[in-house]
Amino acid sequence: MLTTGQKAPEFTLFSSDKKEVSLADFKGKNVVILFFPMAFTSVCTAELCEMRDNISVYSSLNAEILGISVDSPFTLAKFREEQNLPFPLLSDFNKEVSQAYDTYYETFVMNLKGVSKRSAFVVDKDGNIQYAEVLESAGDVPNFQAVQETLKGM
């Protein structure tokens, strides 16, 4: 499991806008990375809408938000549009980034193989992990207060 102080694994994924997005693109900024199991599910929708509704808080803390799931870029584009999400959603369709961040279900509900666990990581301007929370239950949401406190302390 990744822990505080470790270098965040680098990645490049396609966004819901069908553009490549890399963690390195955010060098010099704080980044909140949210892995979520599946677009259009109730808890994932609530989680990402919580971030949308508090985007000014994260902006004031100089933090960018990235949502990552194993959904296709096309599914994520529709989900982002319907929920009016003001941050990129990235497709980890090949499941490599979820595995690199150790936030991965081998088998999820309905016997679906290879789904991201719900988790939150705060990565600082230098690419180091300052907060890591990986949830075993997909029904739980990250501790957004702890994420914000971590950002305030950076």
Catalytic residues: 44
The C-alpha angle with vertex 121 and arms to 22 and 106, in degrees rounded to 5, equals 85
- What single string gives the DSSP state of each residue in 29-71? SEEEEEE-S-TTSHHHHHHHHHHHHTHHHHHHTTEEEEEEESS
3-class DSSP string for 120-152: EEEECCCCEEEEEEECCCCCCCCCHHHHHHHHH
Decide: 129 and 122 in contact? Cβ < 8 Å.
Answer: yes
